[in-house]
Chains A and B, each alone.
Chain A
Amino acid sequence: MRTRITGGRVFDPANNIIDQVRDVLLEDGRIIADSPPVAGEQRVDASGTIVLAGGIDLHSHIAGGKVNLGRLLMNEDRALFPEPFGDFCGCGGGRAAPTTHATGCRYSQMGYTAVFEPAVVGANARHAHLEMADIPNIDTGGFLVLGNDDFLLRLIAQGEGQQAINDYVAWMLKATQCCAIKIVNPGGINAFKFNGRALDFDETGPFYGLTPRRVLNTLQRAVSELGVPHPIHLHGCNLGVPGNVKTTLATIGASEGFPLHLTHIQFHSYGTEGDRHFSSGSAEIAEAVNANPHISVDVGQIMFGQTVTASADLMSQYRNHGIADPKKWIGMDIEMDAACGVVPFNYRDTSFVNALQWAIGLELFLLIEDPWRVYLTTDHPNGGPFTSYPHLIRLLMDKPFRDEHLGRIHKAARAHTKLAEISREYTLEEIAVVTRAAPARTLGLRDRGHLGPGARADVVLYEEQADREAMFAAPRLVMKDGEVVVVNGEVVALTQGRTYAVHPPSDPLMDKRLERWFDEAVGLKASHYKIADGEIRDGQGPEIVELMP
């Protein structure tokens, strides 16, 4: 059946359509080229709304072992935020670490239709996929965490050629059914297993004698040569450490021309100036990002309130566990692959550090000029729950609103930020870029993030309102693959999403090497580590993202 969405103001920056009143036509789950009306077509009146493609969150911890550990620690948060009663209640809830059903419903209610889990540990990938299959109404994909795995570090340390690295990376991507490579604290998680407590970008790590720079460059080359669309998704060294702005600048400078994505860069933009030895490094970072077109970032904005931080970076989480609130935390060394640390946090606007972190995130959003290289995230739940996105959007779009909130934060922090001097307000076009078009482009999802012919019929109608928070919290209509799933901010239908993966080819000899490695070192058969296509979403199988040779 054909559906015509008519009368809305369309923002489709990927197709250079900015604020044009025009029809959007859908048929069989896809957008089709505009053509004259035909008998029997369904009409959706979009007047008074702005029309966007479905939202895409490229960095949100929604599934897998560390999220479940977060749920275990956050029983109070779970009890405080039960799912609303009604036909679409899944007996779940929670805000900081919501249950699967609640995750899908809350994202869907904001107009998001795809969310990517950015830290899949290989050994836990099957769990992450089973959990993602239980999330309704959104498409998903996982980024595989490499860069601390003993097999890789040994390959690099032994001086094996790039081809062996590439074969291994390809094998791992396919085995874990992931769609990109994430590096978390390159070499640092591994160093912590050998009792290393810090590892700077050019510092040699224990046992393998490798620097984070070398690990990063090797994997950058691998994803580039394999044609994985998304560049290395890097959680850099020294997360949260005052002075890490130097590390981040060094990292930007070290990318050797390969594209590089720096994730939750807010946590990596701290200086040491001032009497409290904690200051904003956002101006230097923004300048470097502006000057280096091959760098993209997501912000990892912090939002005040209770949350839980869940990261593969056990080295950093161990360092932070003393400020856990409430006082409990879980750490894990995981299966020669990586680790995890789960630490509850309560960000307070009365705390100098938290207030300045909040301001640093906003400064980065506002000082980085090209919206195509900034993606809107809170690093859910690490900076704050994803349900705070409408509030964050208003902070970006509404200078008086932002100033009002700035006026409420810790006084000394206010004195340490230039936020009041920044007049920029995000436009609707820019919001459409940072929440849709840009993440789709960097992930290589050609049929997403836009409203051109052939795109998935994920369409969102937001009622035009001066209060941008209210506007983006409850869209008038959300369509997923052409089916209406949300009306006036309420879920009206549940659908099954899909899972994105990349399957680069690898030399069969790598199978033999890894069979031996898994048998001897890991104590698990390689064949059982590998996730078959049929295991994805009860036999549906993955949706393969095309490589870019």
Chain B
Amino acid sequence: MTSGEPITGGADRIVRDVVCGFCGLGCDDLEVAVAGRAITPRTACPEAARLLARSDAPPPSPRINGAPASFEDATAAAAGHLKAARSAAFSGLGADLEGLRRLYDLAMASGASLDHAASGGLFANLERLARKGWIAATLAEVRNRCDVLVVFGDDPASAFSRFFSRAVPVRGEGADGDAAPLFVTAPGRRQIAVVGGPLSEASRRVLAAHEVTEIAVAEQDVATATSVLTALVAGRVVDGLAGLPEATVAALAALAEQLKAARYAVFTWNAASLPAEDAPVVAGAASEAVDVLSVTTRAAVFPLGGRDNVTGAHQLALWRFGYPLRTAVGAGTSRHVPELYATAAALPDADLLLHTSAFRPDAPPDFDRGPVIAIAHPDTVFAREPEVFIPVGTPGVDYGGHVFRMDSVVCLPLQALRPAELPSVAEAAAAILVSFGRGA
């Protein structure tokens, strides 16, 4: 199914301009049909359609050690476990900002390390952003100014279905005076280069009007190719340096010339889909290319990411604690040690896991050193029954809330699409906090 293709279904009520909080691209023109509590997506990308679709079935009740329990008992049990814990890890953090605020309150009260399930790509990018910085652009700037777009790695549409149609739309004949792009000289024809790939057939169709160059590079060579391209842009010698095929280096050299002639070049990559050790290299090389180009022309990076509001979790951590995620908070202090507090690193030392995943039914990571509290999507299938399971509604389906778009600038309002029968993450975390405080 290609992006934007309508999914039809009969219903009582059509909701238009639905904001989507799932992948991070922040599309806000989706359409769903709602009948009672059933939701049938009508216009949505495949991932959003899968995550928005709901049946009329009643939601599960909370569980304590696998047995049905009331919300009050479940939150009290969660608080009891938190009180007994000495080293709690909060993982997942898939929630709207309101939910995250209450989860962070809880972490401050109980003491816990904080990390998001999708923070891997973010931290690869922070290797560059926090240490040296970069020049970035937001989505509307890319839409309207970008005349040369360079993609490093795999097809962005594999994780962000509508990326190309939203970031580099074509301005057709007779288009509205407001239609993007407003500032690209040949509006119907931008230069799109993919270093990595391949593009899917669907992406090739979306990009058909543009001048597309696919420079096929194997996944493990993308970082090298990125560095070579930056070196070529900077006028450095790359002979014999890369181990890349001659044809690839020649294609990168041609791309470097296009970039130097560009008015507003944009570099994009999905750090989460690159090999972990290569992602920071790509972020660094792309940012350096922008630095070099900026001396004479304009250029920017546009890093892809932001699944399940990881950008919001990052922003909130910064304004609350002054540090990004992978920080342990409690007893009035914060310690930011990414090597210790990334979920995978924190779990071997933790004695409690509190996992939150409201956007999708992602199970908690494996953990057997203590109790597991799951504030989770009702469809979550657990490999090991958590000590406490509190099913929660989905932001943007069952209740409203706020999520950040991947560019970290635009924060979007999610709306409820149906009457909520499950609590929100904020309600669940607040209830645990009340129980925690009452007995403390």
B322–A193 touching, CB < 8 Å: no
The one of B137, B320, B322 in contact with A134, judged by C-beta atoms closer than 8 angstroms, is B320
Within A518-532, which residues are at the interface with B (CB < 8 Å)?
519-525, 527-528, 531-532
A-B contact pairs, 8 of them (CB 8 A): A71-B323, A78-B323, A99-B322, A330-B129, A336-B140, A516-B176, A523-B143, A523-B166
The answer to whether A73 touches B130 (Cβ under 8 A) is: yes
CB-defined contacts of A170 to chain B, threshold 8 Å: none
C-alpha gap A98/B318 in the complex (Å):
10
Q: Is the CB of B28 within 8 A of A134?
A: no
Find A72's partner among B129, B300, B320 (CB 8 Å cutoff): B129
Does B136 count as interface, using CB distance less than 8 angstroms?
yes
Per the bound structure, the CA–CA distance linking A68 and B131 in Å amounts to 15
- Complex CA–CA separation, A126 to B404 (angstroms): 10
Beta-carbon contact of A92 and B322 below 8 Å: yes
In the assembled complex, the Cα of A93 lies from the Cα of B333 at a distance in Å of 9
Residue of B nearest to A517 (CB): B178
Interface: A543 (CB within 8 A) = no
State the Cβ distance, B146 to closest chain A Cβ, in Å: 11
| Most central of B19, B131, B178 by chain A CB within 10 Å | B178
Q: Across the interface, which residues of A come within 8 angstroms of B300, CB to CB?
A: 332-333
New A-B pairs, 9, CB < 8 Å, besides A89-B332, A90-B332, A522-B140: A68-B319, A89-B333, A91-B332, A91-B333, A99-B321, A195-B263, A327-B132, A331-B135, A332-B138
The answer to whether B101 has its CB under 8 Å from any CB of chain A is yes
Q: Type the 1/0 row for B299-332, where 1 means its CB is closer than 8 Å to any CB of A.
A: 0100000000000000100111111100001101
Known: A65-B408, A72-B130. A524 touches B140 (CB 8 A): yes
Size class of B's contact patch?
35 or more
Q: Contacts of B263 on A, CB cut-off 8 Å? A: 194-195
| Stretch of B179-187, B219-227, B366-374 that contacts chain A | B179-187
Across-interface contacts of B264 in A (CB, < 8 A): 193
Query: Which of B28, B180, B294, B315 is close to A318, meaning CB atoms less than 8 Å apart?
Result: B294
B144 proximal to A (CB < 8 A): yes
Tell me whether B138 and A193 are in contact (CB under 8 A): no
B327: nearest chain-A partner, CB-CB: A91
In the assembled complex, which residues on chain B have CB atoms less than 8 Å from the CB atom of A150? Answer: 144, 182
Contact B410 A524 (CB under 8 A): yes
A436 at the interface (CB under 8 A from B): no
A86 to B334, CA, bound (A): 14
Q: Is B63 an interface residue (CB 8 A)?
A: no
A74, A91, A524, A527: the one contacting B329 at CB < 8 Å is A91
Residue B355 interfacial (CB < 8 Å): no
**Scoring B residues 87 to 111 as 1 if CB is less than 8 Å from chain A, else 0, what string do you get?**
0000000000110010000001000
Given the known interface contacts A126-B413, A520-B176, the answer about A85 and B332 at a Cβ–Cβ threshold of 8 Å is: yes
Contact at B132–A328, with CB atoms within 8 Å? Answer: yes
Separation of A522 and B180 alpha carbons in the complex (Å): 8
Which residue of chain B has the shortest Cβ distance to A318 in the bound complex? Answer: B294
Contact residues in B for A74 (Cβ distance below 8 Å): 322
Interface centre among A67, A124, A194, A522 (most CB of B within 10 A): A522
Q: A333-B138, A527-B17 are in contact. Are A520 and B320 (CB under 8 A)?
A: no
Query: Does B141 lie within 8 Å of A336, measured CB to CB?
Result: yes
- CB of B411 within 8 Å of the partner chain: yes
Q: Is the CB of A83 within 8 A of B143?
A: no
B189 interface hit (Cβ, 8 Å): no
Query: A535 near B: Cβ within 8 Å?
Result: yes
Closest Cβ of chain B to A337, distance in Å, is 8
Q: Check A254 for interface membership: any CB of B closer than 8 A.
A: no
Contact of B136 among A83, A331, A517, A527 (CB under 8 A): A331
- B108 lies within 8 A of A521 (CB): no
Chain A residues within an 8 Å CB radius of B409: 65, 121, 123-124, 127, 332, 334-335
Are A99 and B319 interface neighbours, CB within 8 A? yes
A411 CA / B205 CA spacing, docked (Å): 68
Q: Does A109 contact B (CB under 8 A)?
A: no
C-alpha gap A195/B294 in the complex (Å): 9
> B395-418: contact bitstring with A at CB < 8 Å (1 yes, 0 no)?
000000010100011111100000
B68 interface hit (Cβ, 8 Å) = no
| Nearest neighbor of A85 in chain B, beta-carbon distance | B332
Task: Given A93-B322, A130-B402, decide whether A521 and B180 contact each other with a Cβ distance below 8 A.
Answer: yes
Is the C-beta of A94 less than 8 angstroms from some C-beta in chain B?
Answer: yes
Q: How far is the CA of A89 from the CA of B109 in the complex (A)?
A: 11
Asked whether any CB of chain B lies closer than 8 Å to the CB of A359, the reply is no
Residues of B contacting A334 in the complex (Cβ-Cβ under 8 angstroms): 138, 141, 409
A329 within 8 A of B: yes
Neighbouring A residues of B334 by C-beta, 8 Å: 82, 91-93
Tell me the nearest residue of chain A to B29, going by C-beta.
A525
Beyond A131-B319, A335-B410, whether A521 also contacts B19 by CB under 8 A is: no
B133: interface (CB < 8 Å): yes
Q: Is A457 an interface residue (CB 8 A)?
A: no
| Interface check B297, CB cutoff 8 A | yes
Contact in complex: B139, A523 (CB < 8 Å): yes
Chain A residue nearest in CB terms to B141: A333
Q: Does A63 contact B (CB under 8 A)?
A: yes
Interface assignment of B81: CB less than 8 Å from any CB of chain A: no
Residues of A within 8 A of B336 (CB): 75
Residue of B nearest to A125 (CB): B411
Residue of A nearest to B322 (CB): A78
Inter-chain contacts of B143 with A (CB < 8 A): 521-523
In the assembled complex, A53 has its CB within 8 A of some CB on chain B: no
Q: Is the CB of A521 within 8 A of B179?
A: yes
Query: 10 tightest A-B contacts by CB?
Result: A89-B332, A520-B178, A78-B322, A331-B135, A126-B411, A330-B133, A335-B138, A335-B140, A333-B141, A520-B179
Would you call B319 and A71 a contact (CB within 8 A)? yes
Q: Is A207 an interface residue (CB 8 A)?
A: yes
Q: When the two chains form their complex, are residues B179 and A100 in contact, meaning their CB atoms are under 8 A apart?
A: no
Q: Hey, what's the 0/1 contact readout for B104-138 against A, CB within 8 Å counting as 1?
A: 00001000000000000000001001111111111
Q: Is the CB of B333 within 8 A of A127?
A: no
Q: Does B377 contact A (CB under 8 A)?
A: no
B298 within 8 A of A: yes
* A101 / chain B contacts, CB cutoff of 8 Å: 320
A97 within 8 A of partner (CB): yes
Question: How many whole Å from A149's CB to the nearest CB in chain B?
Answer: 11
Question: 1/0 contact trace for A163-174 toward B, CB 8 Å?
Answer: 000000000000
Smallest CB–CB gap between B15 and chain A, Å?
13
The answer to whether B145 has its CB under 8 Å from any CB of chain A is yes
Residues of B contacting A126 with CB < 8 Å?
A: 402, 410-413
Residues B141 and A523 in contact, CB atoms below 8 Å apart = no
Chain B residues within an 8 Å CB radius of A91: 108, 320-321, 329-330, 332-334
